[in-house]
Structure 1
Amino acid sequence: MESQKTDSKPIDSISTQSNSTESKLANFPVALFASVMGTGSLSLVLKKMSIIVGSLPNANIIESTLESNTSWQSIIAPLLWWSAYGFAVLAVIVFTLLLVCYGAKIFFHFNSFKADLKHQVKINFLSSIPISMLIIAAFWGDVGVGSDVFWYGVLGLFYIASALQLVLSLYVMSFWFRESMKSTLLSPAWFIPIVGNLVVPLSGSLIFASKDLLLFFFSVGCFFWIILGAMIMQRLIFDQSLDSKFIPTLFIFIAPPSIFTIDLHCLFESHSTLSLISFNVALFFVLLLVSLGKIFTKLSFAPSWWAFTFPLCAFSLAGFVLYVDYGFKWFYGVLGILGFMMAFFAVTFTSYKTLKAILDGTIFRE
């Protein structure tokens, strides 16, 4: 009898471990795809910074002539350039791993995936998948433009991501119309499907996609950004406070005006008063959230922390775009650098907290 009891322990242990793995897969959070948005957008900022420094005029480290510039720029520019590629490669690796895991969730726990599709909060994070793809395409889009097989692969990735973004935008909007939505669940996370539409012009302009297509997504994104912005502001002011795990999503307010600024540059290749207006709106939200900094220091970690990263990267990138467009006006350059510093800290610290939560399993708990 004692022998049978002893033999049963390893079996029970294996069974428990198997159930634990199954539970983690079933509860795999789609919000983790926002990590790709954060790391990928940081690579875009670093790439822009390296070009601005001046040692890499054609965004090509191999063809750059560092001999003509032996100052600090010849050291900083390559460092920024290779750091950009490092984060870009990391974004691709993380996206691939997350896609495999979420694909396994769909295959082995289809009911859990269906629950995500019907969840009033999680449904908004589904668009982080095509947005991640668009950001990856934006970084790699200038590699072998028009001739290289790799470039056609990036072009294909862009069109697949754009199609998926459109499908998810239509699905999310129809879901909002069909279901009885709770106002208490309304948060800046609702911006995510709409922000995705604004990312399409940013990504597509770098690979010479159809301008009509880019204007379509730009128009949709602008229209619903304004409407949702008013709805969310009303909810935040007049209804109860956000649940603590959704407080980081307040940073998403920074993203739409920042990306709008970049889109104006990408679509029309010029700057205007409108781009300054939208950037100043983003700047106001940055200042507002910095003034509220105390509430963010008391938060327990959740996947929603990745909402800190992408908006700050978008703000930094918008600052650098205006810095170049307005003849290297130092004001926008300083804001771009400050935005980068905040974004870099947010990405690295949130990465650490995410890895820690994955190792101890807390990130897979409902």
Structure 2
Amino acid sequence: MKNDDKAESAGISIANLPLPLFAGTMGLAGLALVWHQVEGFWGRGEAFAEVIGVLAAIVFVAMLLAYASKLALYRQESLAEITHPVRLNFLPAVSISLILLGMLAGPGQLSLLLWGGGAALHLAFMLGIVTSWLLRQLDLNMLNPAWFIPAVGNVLVPIPAANAGYTEVAWFFFAVGIFFWLILMTLCYHRLIFGANLPEFLQPTLAVLLAPPAVGYLAWVSLTGEAETDIIGRMLYYKALFTFFLLLVQVPRLVKIPFYPSWWAYTFPLAAFSLASFHYVENLAPNAEPLLMALVGLTTLVILWVFVFTVVALLNGRLLKPE
């Protein structure tokens, strides 16, 4: 029997490539942005930031090629995943990745092309996803924190858009993102408190709850330029801080969960909270600098840890087997 036949008989196939792996670029790009802040704050880490940024771009291109192959060779399986009421919400990880890569690219045409294209694609995804929510009769237990991913992307756009001078575009995406975050936050907490417990493979998505207020804080500051006396900015940051504390309480339970692609849900929210904390500490809490250093260390270790586990799972074929 040929090696390909043996692999197929073992269930290893690109047909099983999970859509949530696109969140890998989000986590790595977020880490690169964090270390660019480290370089500006403490004057070190520039080389590490550049390496992680390049790795994020490579991972994104590799996932695009791999998923394009899946679409071409296994169209039915791909469409079933993209239209699934839960996995559908991971599709905007593609557009969010483009936005983040545009932020990493720095000022210029390449940056505009990446984040602008990502914003347009995200709007298209959002319209399609919200339409699917309106047309389907979804069960409450299908709701989970991964539904925040489309909303997070909207709140992210104002950061590069405002910095590039596209103020109205920035306010549009901010308004849409905050609107859906407030709705989904209420619904999600209702589901988590009164509904059935999340299945094991979705429990890491609890970390996604951290991303909207953290990114929202950064977007608000980019739009208004205010920090020291701004009430809304403080509310957003302290909501993120409370969520971070809430997640820390869950750590003893979360560390017992075996590896799933959903582990990537830990990564970008931590990076977003670290970025928000850099700005907050610099402007409002300079005495908290040692805590900021600890947060950067935690964020770096978690993201690299998840990356290593993912590479190992890909090499041994686990991520290419049916779930």
TM-score by length of 2: 0.94
Partner of 1:52: 41
Q: 1:28 aligns with which of 17, 26, 39?
A: 17
Conserved 8 A contact 1:31-1:122: yes
Conserved 8 A contact 1:313-1:343: yes
SS in 1 for 2:57: helix
1:123-181 deviation per Cα after TM superposition (whole angstroms, max 9, x unaligned) = 00000001011111111123xxxxxxxx3122111211111100000111111111121
Work out the CA distance in 2 between the residues paired with 1:324 and 1:123.
38
Letter aligned with residue 126 of structure 2:
S
SS in 1 for 2:152: helix
Identical-pair percentage: 31
SS in 1 for 2:157: helix
1:18-73 deviation per Cα after TM superposition (whole angstroms, max 9, x unaligned) = 746995211111100111111100111110121122xxxxxxxxxxxxxxxxxxxx
1:194–1:335 distance in 2 versus 1, CA, 3 Å: farther
Partner of 2:310: 354
Letter aligned with residue 239 of structure 2:
V
Partner of 1:65: none
Conserved 8 A contact 1:317-1:336: no
Structure 2 counterparts to residues 329-348 of structure 1, below 5 A: 329-331=286-288, 333-348=289-304
Partner of 1:42: 31
Gaps of 5+ in 2: none
Conserved 8 A contact 1:270-1:325: no
Which of 1 and 2 has higher RCO (CA within 8 Å, sep 6+)? 2
Work out the CA distance in 1 between the residues paired with 2:4 and 2:291.
54
Work out the CA distance in 2 between the residues paired with 1:91 and 1:355.
14
Partner of 1:223: 179
Structure 2 counterparts to residues 259-274 of structure 1, below 5 A: 259-271=215-227, 272-274=230-232
Partner of 2:78: 113
1:15–1:340 distance in 2 versus 1, CA, 3 Å: closer
Q: Does 1:316 align with 2:274?
A: yes
Structure 2 counterparts to residues 61-72 of structure 1, below 5 A: none
Partner of 1:198: 155
Work out the CA distance in 2 between the residues paired with 1:209 and 1:136.
18
Q: Does 1:123 align with 2:80?
A: no
Alignment root-mean-square deviation, CA: 1.7
C-alpha deviation, 1:340, in angstroms? 1.6
Work out the CA distance in 1 between the residues paired with 2:6 and 2:162.
48
1:205-233 deviation per Cα after TM superposition (whole angstroms, max 9, x unaligned) = 34x15110111000000001000000000
Conserved 8 A contact 1:37-1:135: yes
Q: Does 1:186 align with 2:175?
A: no
Q: 1:283 aligns with which of 217, 234, 241?
A: 241
Q: Does 1:154 align with 2:111?
A: yes
Partner of 1:175: 132
Letter aligned with residue 153 of structure 2:
G
1:290-311 deviation per Cα after TM superposition (whole angstroms, max 9, x unaligned) = 1121111210100000000111
Count of residue pairs the alignment pairs up? 320
C-alpha deviation, 1:341, in angstroms? 1.8
TM-score by length of 1: 0.84
C-alpha deviation, 1:245, in angstroms? 0.7
> Larger C-alpha radius of gyration, 1 or 2?
1
1:84-136 deviation per Cα after TM superposition (whole angstroms, max 9, x unaligned) = 11110110111110111011112222212211222011100000001011111
1:299–1:211 distance in 2 versus 1, CA, 3 Å: same
C-alpha deviation, 1:252, in angstroms? 0.7
